[in-house]
Amino acid sequence: MRIVIFGPPGSGKGTYASRLMEKLGVPHISTGDLVREEIRNQTPLGKMIEKYSSSGGLVPDETITEILKERMRSGASKGFVLEGYPRTVNQAKELAKMTKIDAVINLIVPDSVIIRRLSARLQCKSCGAIYNEITLKPRVAGKCDKCGGELFRRADDQPEVIQERLKVYREASAPVVDFYRSEGLLKDIGNEDPNADPNEIVSQILKMIKPRP
Ligand code: ADP
């Protein structure tokens, strides 16, 4: 099963993808996490792409495509839940050359909900699990429920950077929706409720991607 989770920043892509990974038994591939790992390790590539990510811009298509190809080579033969890629029509075309996608889940979330969510988002430094100070609190403040790791606020979750990410999404990424709709792969999920239970959305996604008997 090869699934893409698509949506604006803060639409819950990472949260749903990691839960789907557990349910479907395939890896969760997040280009956002791959980018942050390169930056954290201060690799030559990480140093080069830091400026794009910290300002809310996109890493150039060729660079992010190479990062993804490298990750695909190290184990995705049984399938994957991919999230964060593609973000441009050019990337969608590159992905089509790499592999065949079974479905693209399109998360539709109003800007007001996104801004609220991202301003309260926390992530685990060790395992990458995502929390929210309002809707998805960890059991112990500042500590990850799963591994006990320290929770942090992402550098790009500052108000001005959030606005820039939304602008970039509207300009570069929204056309990807039309691309996949015309391919017949797109499945829309609306989520207007800022307090919606992530498990509810995950169940909806699972129903949408289950092969018909
Ligand atoms: P968001 O929460 O905004 O959806 P991600 O965690 O997916 O963010 O990605 C963080 C940053 O990494 C992006 O703002 C961008 O700079 C970079 N990035 C990740 N995936 C891509 C991609 N497919 N194309 C270009 N840049 C990317």
**DSSP label of 172:** I
Mean pLDDT of the 73-102 span? 93
Mean pLDDT of the 29-52 span? 93
Token look-up 């590159």 returns: 94
Query: 0.75 exceeded by the pTM?
Result: yes
The C-alpha torsion from 182 through 191 and 198 to 35, rounded to 10°, is 60
- Distance (Å) from CA 46 to ligand 1 centroid: 13
Residue in 154, 170, 207, 210 annotated catalytic: 154
- Residue 39 near ligand 1, beta carbon < 6 Å: no
Percentage of the chain exceeding pLDDT 70: 99
Mean pLDDT of the 180-186 span? 95
The CA angle 55-58-63, to the nearest 5 degrees, is: 125
7-39 pLDDT, tens per residue? 999 898 998 999 999 999 999 999 999 999 999
Whether 170 sits among the annotated catalytic residues: the reply is: no
- Distance (Å) from CA 57 to ligand 1 centroid: 8
* Ligand 1 nearest-atom number relative to CA 168: 14
Predicted confidence (pLDDT) at residue 155 exceeds the cutoff of 90: no
Mean pLDDT of the 84-92 span? 97
- Residue 53 near ligand 1, beta carbon < 6 Å: yes
Whether 117 sits among the annotated catalytic residues: the reply is: no
Whether 93 sits among the annotated catalytic residues: the reply is: no
Percentage of the chain exceeding pLDDT 90: 70
- Residue 123 near ligand 1, beta carbon < 6 Å: no
Ligand 1 mutation pick, 6, 29, 35, max ligand atoms within 8 A of CB? 35
Confidence of residue 213 (pLDDT cuts 50, 70, 90): low
Q: For the stretch 50-87, what's the b/e string if a residue is b when 16 or more beta carbons lie within 10 angstroms of its beta carbon?
A: bebbeebbbbebebbbebbeebbeeebeeebbbbbbbb
- Distance (Å) from CA 174 to ligand 1 centroid: 14
Predicted confidence (pLDDT) at residue 45 exceeds the cutoff of 90: yes
Whether 47 sits among the annotated catalytic residues: the reply is: no
Mean pLDDT of the 132-149 span? 93
**DSSP label of 136:** B
- Residue 31 near ligand 1, beta carbon < 6 Å: yes
